[in-house]
C-alpha cells in the first residue's frame, strides 16, 4: 500500500502562487478566453506536475467556448489561432512564440478503441469523466482554485495511477491507454500497480494489436525514459504484454542494470539506450525493432551500431585497456563505443559504481576517435598503381597501425607503410628496370 505524501504545489487547498499561473503567456490566454459567459481552466499535466512539485513544461486549457469563439476572442486579443484539431475542438494559440492547446469541453458519443466521436459540452465534470486517469483529470482556474471531481488529489498523494470509472471501459475507448497506464505508473507511481487497472490491461490485451506502431513506439520510449521503467517493463514482460508489440526477447534485468549505471554516472536517462538494453541482443534486432516500432533510420542505426560494438566486448568481467578503447573508438565511432561499453558493463558482474568501468566510459566520452594518418595517396606516391591492390594494402596497413597502438609520428607511419607494402616496392623497382 502506497503511503501518503505532502503535495509541494498545494497551498491552502489551492494552486494559488503556482509558477505556471504567473506565466505571461498563460495570463494572456486566460485574459482572452475566461469570462464574458465562458469559463476557461488549465487542465491535465500542468496541474498534476505542479501538485507533485515536478517541472511544468507545457500548459493546456479546457474551455466552455467553442472553436469559433476561441478564434474570435484570440483575434481580438492579438493572439494567433491555429486550428490544430477542430474535429475534437482543439485550437492552438500562439502567444509570443509559445503554443498553448485550448480544447472545448467534450462528451464522448461513440468510441472504437482507436478514435472517438465527440460533441461539445459545457460541463467540466463530464469532460473530466472522459479522461484517462484521475491524476490527469484535475483543473485549475486563473486564481489557482483546484477542481477535482474524480479523486485525483488523493491518488497523487498516494502515488497511485488509477483509471477514471470502470477500467476496461476506459481502455476500450482508446487501447493506447493500456500503455499510458504503465508509462504514468513508471513516472509517478510507487509500489504495486493498481490491481483493477493492471487486470483490465491484461483482459483487454488483444486491443494492443490494433494500435499503430508509431503510437506504440512513442509511448514505449516515454515509458523507458521514466524513473520506474525497469520495474514496470519487467511486470509488462511477465504478463506477456510485450511479445505482440516487439516480437522478440526482452531483458528487464539488463535494462535495470543500465539504469543503475546511468544513475551512478549522474547521467540523464537515455530512453534510446534503454530500448537497446531492453530489446536488442544482436545486430539483426535493429531490423526487427525498425519494423515493429517504425524506428527512424537514425534510431535503427543506433541499435545496430551499439549491438555491433557490444560483440567485441562480450564476456568481459573487467573494462578494456586504453589501447582496446582506442580500437573501439576507431572501429565503431564515439556514440556506438559508449553505448557498447555501457551494455558490456551492464552484463558484467561489476557494480554499477565500478571505478574502472566509469573511467573507461569517461575515456570514450572525452577522446576523439583516432584518424588514419595515411591514405591511398601515400601508396600512389610510392609508385603503387591504382586498383584493387590499393585497397588490400590499406586494409593491411590499418591492421598494422591498430596493432602498433595508433602512432601518429611520421617516422612510425613510414615504417608501417614499408611493412605493409612489403615486397611490393621491390617488385615495382624490378619492373621499372
| Domain range list for the chain | 1-165, 246-363, 376-432
Q: Tell me if 161 sits within 8 A of 189, measured CB to CB.
A: yes
Domain 1-165, classified CATH 2.60.40.10, yes or no:
no
Q: Which pLDDT value is given to residue 2? A: 42
- CA 394 to CA 362: how far, in whole Å? 31
The H-or-E segment that residue 390 falls in is helix 388-403
Q: Tell me if 48 sits within 8 A of 138, measured CB to CB.
A: yes
C-alpha cell of 71? 478564434
Q: Which pLDDT value is given to residue 431? A: 45
Provide the greatest CA pair distance for the chain. Answer: 102
Round the CA-based radius of gyration of the chain to a whole number and report it.
29
C-alpha cell of 425? 616496392
3-state SS of 147-189 is ECCCCHHHHHHCCCCCECCCHHHHHHHECHHHHHHHHHHHHHC
Q: Tell me if 16 sits within 8 A of 144, measured CB to CB.
A: yes
Looking at residue 370, the DSSP 8-state letter turns out to be P
342-357 burial string, b = 16+ CB within 10 Å, else e?
bbbbbbbebebebeeb
CA-closest candidate to residue 2, choices 217, 228, 280 = 228
Q: Which pLDDT value is given to residue 109? A: 63
Tell me which residue has cell 562480450. Answer: 314
Q: Which pLDDT value is given to residue 110? A: 62
CA-closest candidate to residue 160, choices 188, 132, 182, 124 = 188
Q: Which pLDDT value is given to residue 116? A: 58
Q: Which pLDDT value is given to residue 244? A: 86
The sign one gets for the Cα dihedral 287, 288, 292, 293 is: negative
- CA 208 to CA 206: how far, in whole Å? 5
Low-confidence ranges of the chain (pLDDT < 70): 1-6, 9, 108-118, 386, 423-433
C-alpha cell of 53? 512539485
pLDDT digits (tens, 9 = 90+) for 260-278: 999 999 999 999 999 999 9
- CA 207 to CA 201: how far, in whole Å? 9
Q: Which pLDDT value is given to residue 265? A: 95
Pairing verdict, β 139-140 and 116-120: unpaired
**Residue 31, CA atoms < 13 Å, CB-side half-sphere:** 14
Question: How many residues belong to the chain?
Answer: 433
Q: Tell me if 263 sits within 8 A of 270, measured CB to CB.
A: no
- CA 337 to CA 318: how far, in whole Å? 16
- CA 295 to CA 273: how far, in whole Å? 13
Q: What is the pTM of this model?
A: 0.84
Q: Which pLDDT value is given to residue 1? A: 35
Amino acid at each position: 500500500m502506497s503511503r501518503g505524501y505532502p503535495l509541494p504545489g498545494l497551498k491552502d487547498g489551492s494552486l494559488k502562487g503556482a509558477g505556471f499561473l504567473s506565466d505571461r503567456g498563460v495570463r494572456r490566454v486566460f485574459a482572452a478566453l475566461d469570462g464574458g459567459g465562458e469559463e476557461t481552466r488549465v487542465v491535465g499535466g500542468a496541474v498534476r506536475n505542479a501538485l507533485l512539485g515536478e517541472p511544468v513544461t507545457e500548459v493546456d486549457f479546457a474551455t466552455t467556448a467553442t472553436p469559433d469563439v476561441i478564434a474570435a476572442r484570440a483575434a481580438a486579443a492579438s493572439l494567433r489561432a491555429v486550428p490544430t484539431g477542430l474535429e475534437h475542438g482543439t485550437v492552438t494559440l500562439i502567444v509570443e512564440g509559445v503554443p498553448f492547446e485550448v480544447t472545448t469541453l467534450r462528451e464522448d458519443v461513440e468510441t472504437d478503441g482507436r478514435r472517438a466521436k465527440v460533441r461539445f459540452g459545457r460541463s467540466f465534470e463530464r469532460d473530466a469523466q472522459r479522461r484517462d486517469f484521475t491524476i490527469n483529470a484535475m483543473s485549475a482556474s486563473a486564481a489557482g482554485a483546484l477542481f477535482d471531481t474524480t479523486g485525483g488529489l488523493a491518488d497523487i498523494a498516494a502515488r497511485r495511477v488509477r483509471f477514471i470509472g470502470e477500467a476496461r471501459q476506459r481502455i476500450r475507448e482508446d487501447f493506447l491507454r493500456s500503455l499510458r497506464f504503465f508509462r504514468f505508473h513508471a513516472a509517478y507511481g510507487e509500489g504495486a500497480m493498481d490491481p483493477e487497472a493492471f487486470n483490465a490491461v491484461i483482459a483487454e490485451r488483444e486491443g494492443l494489436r490494433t494500435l499503430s506502431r508509431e503510437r506504440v513506439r512513442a509511448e514505449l520510449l516515454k515509458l523507458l525514459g521514466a524513473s520506474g521503467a525497469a520495474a514496470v517493463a519487467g511486470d509488462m514482460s511477465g504478463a506477456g504484454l510485450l511479445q505482440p508489440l516487439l516480437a522478440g526477447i526482452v531483458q528487464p534485468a539488463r535494462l535495470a542494470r543500465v539504469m543503475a549505471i546511468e544513475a551512478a554516472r549522474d547521467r540523464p536517462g537515455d530512453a534510446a539506450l534503454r530500448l537497446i538494453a531492453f530489446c536488442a541482443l544482436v545486430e539483426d534486432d535493429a531490423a526487427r525493432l525498425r519494423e515493429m516500432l517504425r524506428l527512424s533510420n537514425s534510431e535503427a542505426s543506433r541499435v545496430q551500431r551499439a549491438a555491433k560494438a557490444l560483440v567485441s566486448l562480450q564476456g568481459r568481467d573487467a573494462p578494456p585497456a586504453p589501447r582496446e578503447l582506442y580500437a573501439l573508438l576507431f572501429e565503431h565511432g564515439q556514440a556506438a563505443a559508449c553505448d557498447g561499453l555501457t551494455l558490456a558493463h551492464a552484463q558484467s558482474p561489476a557494480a554499477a559504481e565500478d571505478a574502472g568501468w566509469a573511467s573507461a566510459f569517461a575515456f570514450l566520452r572525452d577522446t576523439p576517435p583516432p584518424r588514419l594518418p595515411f591514405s591511398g595517396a601515400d601508396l600512389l606516391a610510392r609508385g603503387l598503381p591504382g586498383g584493387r591492390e590499393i585497397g588490400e594494402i590499406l586494409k593491411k596497413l590499418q591492421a598494422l597501425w591498430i596493432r602498433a597502438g595508433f602512432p601518429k609520428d611520421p617516422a612510425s607511419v613510414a615504417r608501417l607503410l614499408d611493412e605493409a607494402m612489403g615486397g611490393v616496392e621491390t617488385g615495382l623497382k624490378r619492373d621499372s628496370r
